[in-house]
Amino acid sequence: MTAMMKAAIFVEPGRIELADKPIPDVGPNDALIRITTTTICGTDVHILKGEYPVAKGLTIGHEPVGVIEKLGSAVQGYTEGQRVIAGAICPNFNSYAAQDGAPSQDGSYLIPMGLCGCHGYKATAGWRFGNLIDGTQAEYVLVPDAQANLAPIPDGLTDEQVLMCPDIMSTGFKGAENANIRIGDTVVVFAQGPIGLCATAGARLLGASTIIGVDGNDHRLGIAKKLGADVTLNFNNCDVVAEIMKLTGGKGADSAIEALGTQGTFESALRVLRPGGTLSSLGVYSSDLTIPLSAFAAGLGDHTIRTALCPGGKERMRRLMNIVAAGRIDLGLMVTHHYKLDNIVEAYELFAHQRDGVLKVAIKP
Ligand SMILES: [Zn+2]
């Protein structure tokens, strides 16, 4: 008889439900992880609403914290029973895309299914969990290319302390890294949801001396201050672009990080940028963007616009967990609610409607 597990699956737009699924078989390069904590991401809400298509019956979720249940025969240097995380993005680091410095854009594992050209590059395909393969909102998850993607949790760190590392912290920090921040810079972060908050914290760690956090929610702006924002602006109470130009003496910010994915935030990020500045975009957009001509200096402003998908892999995860272990940042405060996996539908309901001051929910099987 096949052993079964509980998993949250996409049924149809508007419906993610708990179902019974077989516990997956472990191939030579895989590791089976028993999930101890996972969470719901804003991207999962896009999936729930049908705005980001995934296969019916797919297990959702891409943020695993757990214990190695079973290792594939080719995976070395780990032990069963060890506490680990894996990045939300699980590239095959032997691929051309990975070796060319773009591991998050690796779709090489899709070549045998005819879903990717033989070169193996495919935009966003490094994101496998809960996108192209079964994800983490379940009792067990199979981690592919485990040798490159399993990261042991340092002793003394709780599940909640490392729960942001697989996606939110890696993505938010990448937004700060892509913003070309130098010591003494002024950086604006548009939107202070979980990823924007991590971008704020990342900007502080990279040496920005003035960090301006923008959001429409005073509770989130309060947390932005705790994580590194020097000034917070609520767009309901002021003209954000005019205020930032005033704060920078008319010069504009050195960098602007966009962490929402709308025309309005993208445009404002460009409008507050000084000539030669960098716009680092993290948001997931759902329609075409328009670039305002004046803010873009007709294409002559020496602006840099960079986009990113969350970096994964064990070295990235090791670095992020080290930052937590060293006490440089406490993201535990972002875990505002706890749910059993059995009640995940309720957790989606709360998270999708941003009720009760929710930032991140910890889900435990
Ligand atoms: Zn995510």
Count of other CB atoms within 10 angstroms of residue 250: 8
Distance 173 CA to ligand 1 centre (A): 13
Distance 42 CA to ligand 1 centre (A): 6
pLDDT band at 266 (very low <50, low <70, confident <90, very high): very high
- Cβ neighbours of residue 135 closer than 8 Å, sequence gap 6 or more: 58, 59, 60, 61, 62, 129, 141
Helix (H) or strand (E) holding 185: none
Location of structure tokens 């990823």: 195
Tokens of 193: 């949801």
Helix (H) or strand (E) holding 173: helix 170-177
Distance 41 CA to ligand 1 centre (A): 5
Distance 337 CA to ligand 1 centre (A): 17
pLDDT digits over 274-302, tens only? Answer: 999 999 999 989 889 999 999 999 999 99
**What is residue 6's predicted lDDT score, i.e. its pLDDT?**
98
Distance 309 CA to ligand 1 centre (A): 10
**What is residue 333's predicted lDDT score, i.e. its pLDDT?**
86
* SS3 state at 243: helix
pLDDT band at 308 (very low <50, low <70, confident <90, very high): very high
**What is residue 332's predicted lDDT score, i.e. its pLDDT?**
87
d(CA 228, CA 328): 11
Distance 63 CA to ligand 1 centre (A): 7
Tokens of 81: 């029973």
Distance 174 CA to ligand 1 centre (A): 13
Tokens of 223: 């947390």
Distance 231 CA to ligand 1 centre (A): 27
Q: Is the pTM of this model over 0.95?
A: yes
pLDDT digits over 181-220, tens only? Answer: 999 999 999 999 999 999 999 999 999 999 999 999 999 9
Angle between helices 314-325 and 170-177 (to 10 degrees): 90
d(CA 209, CA 186): 6
Distance 168 CA to ligand 1 centre (A): 6
pLDDT digits over 226-241, tens only? Answer: 999 999 999 999 999 9
Distance 271 CA to ligand 1 centre (A): 27
Distance 196 CA to ligand 1 centre (A): 13
Q: Could you tell me which of 188, 163, 166 has the C-alpha nearest to residue 359? A: 163
Q: Could you tell me which of 336, 267, 278, 339 has the C-alpha nearest to residue 304? A: 278
Q: Read off the pLDDT of each residue in 139-144 and give the average, rounded to a whole number.
A: 98
Return residues with CB closer than 5 A to ligand 1 (ion).
41, 43, 167
| Beta-strand runs (E) in 166-299 | 186-190, 210-215, 231-234, 253-258, 273-281
Distance 167 CA to ligand 1 centre (A): 5
Distance 349 CA to ligand 1 centre (A): 17
Distance 242 CA to ligand 1 centre (A): 32
Distance 85 CA to ligand 1 centre (A): 15
